[in-house]
């Protein structure tokens, strides 16, 4: 059996779960939770997977071992765990389900180890159980705070949503080889690229979220897009960022993605405003 098949099955499970939640609620809320939780897990995996190399995913879909590991991580980061967290909240499952899912995902990890499609370096299975239980508990607590309507928690939620989308697109640029960063941090070019990608994505997420969140006007959003363009030009000029294609082609690919991220962040902020207004009316 090819290595990617179990990863694919996990992905399908997550997609079906999210499809069910959206159809059941007929709401944008599950999508907000899903991407916000994905952004949170990206931050966690940045330290555990990228900086400290706790384990390695081996889906066997990319020739580059570092990028192949990140591709496997996307199944966990972007899909599986966030979809489970969203299901816990939307379906109002009791606390014992947190332990069930923590043990279930630990069992999946054990199976992946036996199938030789996942490898531990210094990580241990109990660490997985504890960390997933902690994250799912945090997700439930986060959603309760979000329901109460605090402005700062909404801002952080939109920020994490933006980080998830921006970093996913940035990782896709790495996988295709269109863009790379010249910053010797971890001793390996591929790991260096991933080490730089998340902080850079977080910086852009902060720009887009702040431009959309703190004002209803359009010009801060346009200024942010212009600023991102100038930052890209500057990074290319100083040699910090390099391209494998012509610059015009890179921008032709890059800016539709940036615009899409901006529109999603803008729509999410509008959704929160409408939701708050509806709650006040009730």
210 closest CA partner among 171, 156, 144: 156
Query: Could you tell me which residue, 248 or 108, shows the higher pLDDT?
Result: 108
Non-local (6+) Cβ contacts of 119 within 8 A are 55, 56, 58, 113
Average pLDDT, rounded, for the chain: 90
106 touches 127 (CB < 8 A): no
241-243 vs 179-181, strand pairing mode: antiparallel
Counting the structural domains of the chain, the total is: 1
Q: Look up tokens 């990890």; give the residue.
A: 109
Find which of 66-80, 87-101, 250-264 is predicted with most confidence, using mean pLDDT.
87-101
Report d(CA 30, CA 37) in Å as an integer: 11
| Beta strand extents in the chain (DSSP E only) | 55-57, 118-120, 179-181, 241-243
What's the pLDDT at 75? 84
What's the pLDDT at 200? 93
Asked if residue 264 has pLDDT above 60, the reply is yes
Asked if residue 48 has pLDDT above 90, the reply is yes
What is the mean predicted confidence (pLDDT) over 160-175? Answer: 92
What are 203-215's pLDDT values in tens digits? 999 998 988 887 7
Query: Could you tell me which residue, 235 or 220, shows the higher pLDDT?
Result: 235
What's the pLDDT at 271? 87
206 touches 213 (CB < 8 A): no
SS3 label, residue 63: coil
The answer for 26, left when phi > 0, alpha when psi is -120 to 50, beta otherwise, is: left
Asked if residue 146 has pLDDT above 60, the reply is yes
Non-local (6+) Cβ contacts of 59 within 8 A are 3, 4, 7, 68, 71, 72, 75, 117
What range does the domain containing 18 cover?
4-281
Asked if residue 281 has pLDDT above 50, the reply is no
What's the pLDDT at 70? 93
What's the pLDDT at 276? 67
Asked if residue 278 has pLDDT above 80, the reply is no
Asked if residue 280 has pLDDT above 70, the reply is no
Query: Could you tell me which residue, 56 or 150, shows the higher pLDDT?
Result: 56
Of 83-87, 88-92, 212-216, the least confident: 212-216
162 touches 265 (CB < 8 A): yes
Non-local (6+) Cβ contacts of 146 within 8 A are 153, 154, 157
**pTM of this prediction?**
0.93
158 touches 209 (CB < 8 A): yes
């Amino acid at each position: 059996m090819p290595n990617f098949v179990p990863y694919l099955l996990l992905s399908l499970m997550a997609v079906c779960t999210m499809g069910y939640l959206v159809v059941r609620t007929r709401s944008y809320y599950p999508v907000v939770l899903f991407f916000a939780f994905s952004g949170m897990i990206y931050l966690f995996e940045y330290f555990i997977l990228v900086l400290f190399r706790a384990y390695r995913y081996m889906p066997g879909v990319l020739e580059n071992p570092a990028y192949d590991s990140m591709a496997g991580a996307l199944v966990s980061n972007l899909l599986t765990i966030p979809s489970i967290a969203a299901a816990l909240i939307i379906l109002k499952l009791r606390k014992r389900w947190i332990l069930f899912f923590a043990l279930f995902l630990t069992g999946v990890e054990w199976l992946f180890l036996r199938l030789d499609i996942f490898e531990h370096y210094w990580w241990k299975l109990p660490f997985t159980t504890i960390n997933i239980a902690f994250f799912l508990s945090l997700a439930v607590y986060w959603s309760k705070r979000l329901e109460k309507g605090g402005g700062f928690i909404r801002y952080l939620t939109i920020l994490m949503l933006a980080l998830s989308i921006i970093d996913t697109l940035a990782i896709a640029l790495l996988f295709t080889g269109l863009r790379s960063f010249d910053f010797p941090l971890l001793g390996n070019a591929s790991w260096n690229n991933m080490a730089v990608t998340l902080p850079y994505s977080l910086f852009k997420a902060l720009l887009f979220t702040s431009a959309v969140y703190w004002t209803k006007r359009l010009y801060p959003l346009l200024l942010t897009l212009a600023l991102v363009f100038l930052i890209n030009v500057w990074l290319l000029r100083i040699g910090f960022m390099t391209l494998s294609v012509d610059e015009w082609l890179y921008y032709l690919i890059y800016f539709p993605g940036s615009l899409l991220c901006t529109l999603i962040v803008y729509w999410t902020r509008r959704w929160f405003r409408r939701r708050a207004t509806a709650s006040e009316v009730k």
